[in-house]
Amino acid sequence: MMSDLINFDFIHSRYLFSMLPYTLAALDLDFSKIADNIPFILWGVPVTLSFSIASVLCGFPLAILLAIFKISGIKPLRWFADFYTSLFRGTPLLLQLSLIYFATPQLIGYSIPPFQAAVLAFSLNSAAYSSETIRGGILAVDKGQREAAMTLGVSYPLMMWDLILPQAFKNILPALVNETIALLKDSSLVSTIGALDLMRRGTVVASEKYVYFEPLIVVGFVYYVLVMSLTWAAQRFERRMRRSD
Amino acid sequence: MIKTEFLCKSFGKLDVLKDISTEIQKGEVVAIIGPSGGGKSTFLRCLNLLEFPTRGRVYIDNVDITTKNIDIKKVRQNMGMVFQHFNLFPHKTVLQNVTYGPIKVKKMSKAEADKLGLDLLAKVGLAEKSDAYPSRLSGGQKQRVAIARALAMQPEIMLFDEPTSALDPEMVKEVLEVMKGLANSGMTMAIVTHEMGFAREVANRILFLEGGRLAEDAPPDVFFTNPKSDRACQFLEKVL
């Protein structure tokens, strides 16, 4: 009985594999159909990048601030930072984006542009995640470093900025790169609030030409290239940071 | 120059220091010795408030530094400290380690600080390593850089917390030589150490801490030849 089953599977898979070329041909892939739309899709690159870069630039300082709140001796600051993190980690990013974009006009009568809404949502959200990473990085720096700084009479802000954070960042760089990559890809959520980013352009072309596979594959490929470039740049940066090892 | 009155420190239920009262005069070199867990390091760390005393007072130049309105950063600038594990800044070069305090805390110009730093590095025999990162140095070299870094703040007091305990045996001497030179130059020093020969040769006074109490306070020749307390006798029997 058992051998029958295995035998069946074997024959079945043989059949599937032998059919593969025919199946692919039957898909009727034709990238030339969207050739004239490729520039339109590629113009999504600066859009996606500007959303991502602006969000990283706003989110990162906020993350450092939250991390410092979390390790501070002042309890209300700690409570605030912990609550903040729980809120932004505990709800979907898409919900946060929709709330900011659709609810802001209702609440304060300001019809917030997609760019502002998205950068606000992404930076607030990524700060919640990164602040935990940064907190871990700060705590992992040997406490002797702090003591050495204290005995030189260095003030707390200067000690953090010059001595503790640079060492913390060196160690958490891979994790921060992860978070930046996640943000770059999550920026595709702006397609839901009407911004013409890479993702949105892919679907626009798809509905215009009634083909889905080709434009979405192109979009996927462009995301992949963006992420690979980011990874490559981060690796170079990390190597530079590790000079002192 | 340094005076403690009924200094007590507890960590939770553990009383690490019990009523230590003593005084260190300007230019004096005091070695603090005793068994592990006797409170030596804690005592030293209370002198610059790296540990805040549970009770008692610490006076530096007749100023009680345990009161609230003291700017401890200012006090610490005048008290260099050298740690067992060096605690050099790994992302800064040797020279940057030494000049960091003068430039950032004392607001010295970079040129002036570099000159001072290179001078001090030459004094500890490491001028040629000024551009190296700490990871490239041996333990003894690291500790000598750490001494230069502390001296760069031009302190009047130097605290040493087991400066040779983390070193390979053959590197102990180079560090002790630097410290000896410093002692001969008239620096006020408090040194927690297990180097009995060094303590005997360089220190003016020995503080023997045991079980959190100051069990003995005597000049080295008296302490090493004729200790009063039984505990000190036992200790010396084991280490000498």
**Size of chain A, expressed as the number of residues it contains:** 245
Secondary structure letter of residue B62 according to DSSP:
T
CA distance B159 to B182: 12
Residues from chain A that touch B85, judged by Cβ atoms under 8 A, are 142, 144
Closest to A218 in 3D by CA, of A235, A197, A231, A199: A199
Q: What is the reported pLDDT for B40?
A: 95
Tell whether B80 lies on the interface with A, counting CB pairs under 8 A: yes
CB spacing of A153 vs B101 below 8 angstroms: yes
CA distance B132 to B114: 15
Closest to B143 in 3D by CA, of B206, B185, B193: B193
Cα B223 to chain centroid, rounded: 21
CB spacing of B79 vs A170 below 8 angstroms: no
Q: What is the reported pLDDT for B196?
A: 93
Residues from chain B that touch A170, judged by Cβ atoms under 8 A, are 91
DSSP bridge pairs for B133: none
CB-CB contact of B161 with B1 (8 Å): no
Cα-based torsion angle of the residue sequence A10, A11, A12, A14 in order, rounded to the nearest 10 degrees: 90
Query: For the CA atoms of chain B, what is the radius of gyration?
Result: 18
Domains of chain A listed by start with CATH number: 1-43+198-245 (no CATH), 49-195 (1.10.3720.10)
Per-residue pLDDT tens for B91-127? Answer: 999 999 999 999 999 999 999 999 999 999 999 999 9
CB spacing of A153 vs B149 below 8 angstroms: no
Per-residue pLDDT tens for B174-200? Answer: 999 999 999 999 999 999 999 999 999
End-to-end CA distance of chain A: 62
Facing A245 at nearest CB: one of B81, B86, B135:
B135
CB-CB contact of A180 with A56 (8 Å): yes
Q: Is B89 helix (H, G, I), strand (E, B) or coil?
A: coil
CB spacing of A147 vs B50 below 8 angstroms: yes
**Which of A143, A147, A150, A152 to mutate to probe the B interface, most B CBs <10 Å?**
A152
Backbone angles phi, psi at B6, to 5 degrees: 45, 45
Lowest mean pLDDT among A236-245, B133-142, B184-193: A236-245
Q: What is the reported pLDDT for A6?
A: 53
Tell whether B132 lies on the interface with A, counting CB pairs under 8 A: no
Average pLDDT, chain A: 90
What confidence tier does A4 reach under pLDDT thresholds 50, 70, 90?
low
Rounded to a whole number of angstroms, the distance from the CA of B222 to the nearest CA of chain A is 33
Which tokens go with B48?
């610059």
Tell whether B163 lies on the interface with A, counting CB pairs under 8 A: no
DSSP bridge pairs for B30: B190, B205
DSSP bridge pairs for B11: B14
Q: How many CB atoms lie within 10 A of CB B200?
A: 17
Residues from chain B that touch A154, judged by Cβ atoms under 8 A, are 73, 100-101, 104-105
DSSP bridge pairs for B217: B207
Residues from chain A that touch B88, judged by Cβ atoms under 8 A, are 148
CB-CB contact of B29 with B186 (8 Å): no
Is the pLDDT at A62 greater than 70? The verdict is yes
Tell whether B10 lies on the interface with A, counting CB pairs under 8 A: no
Is the pLDDT at B27 greater than 70? The verdict is yes
CB spacing of A150 vs B100 below 8 angstroms: no
What confidence tier does A35 reach under pLDDT thresholds 50, 70, 90?
confident
CA distance A112 to A103: 9
**Size of chain B, expressed as the number of residues it contains:** 240
Query: What CA–CA distances, in Å, run from A64 to A102, B69, B110, B127, B240?
Result: 29, 30, 29, 37, 53
With CA atoms as reference, the chain B residue closest to A153 would be B73
Tell whether B83 lies on the interface with A, counting CB pairs under 8 A: yes
CA distance B116 to A176: 39
CB-CB contact of B181 with B23 (8 Å): no
Cβ-Cβ pairs closer than 8 A, A with B, add up to 68
**Which 178-237 residues of chain B touch chain A by CB within 8 A?**
none
Rounded to a whole number of angstroms, the distance from the CA of A65 to the nearest CA of chain B is 22
Per-residue pLDDT tens for B63-73? Answer: 999 998 899 99
CB spacing of A142 vs B87 below 8 angstroms: yes
**Which 132-191 residues of chain A touch chain B by CB within 8 A?**
142, 144-145, 147-148, 150-155, 158, 162-163, 166-167, 170
Which tokens go with A20?
């593969």
Backbone angles phi, psi at B79, to 5 degrees: -130, 100
Query: What CA–CA distances, in Å, run from A103 to A59, A89, A112, A113, B25?
Result: 21, 20, 9, 12, 71
Rounded to a whole number of angstroms, the distance from the CA of B185 to the nearest CA of chain A is 21
Closest to A231 in 3D by CA, of A186, A179, A187, A167: A179
Is the pLDDT at B158 greater than 80? The verdict is yes
Is the pLDDT at A242 greater than 70? The verdict is yes
Closest to B101 in 3D by CA, of A155, A165, A160: A155
Tell whether B50 lies on the interface with A, counting CB pairs under 8 A: yes
Q: Which amino acid is at A40?
A: F
Q: What is the reported pLDDT for A3?
A: 54
Specify the residue for token string 């297990």. B194
Secondary structure letter of residue A37 according to DSSP:
G
CB-CB contact of B34 with B90 (8 Å): no
With CA atoms as reference, the chain A residue closest to B159 would be A151
Backbone angles phi, psi at B5, to 5 degrees: -125, 115
CB-CB contact of B152 with B97 (8 Å): no
Per-residue pLDDT tens for B30-54? Answer: 999 999 888 999 999 999 999 999 9
Rounded to a whole number of angstroms, the distance from the CA of B80 to the nearest CA of chain A is 7
Which tokens go with B141?
């070299």
Per-residue pLDDT tens for A103-131? Answer: 999 999 999 999 999 999 999 999 999 99
Which tokens go with A200?
């949105």
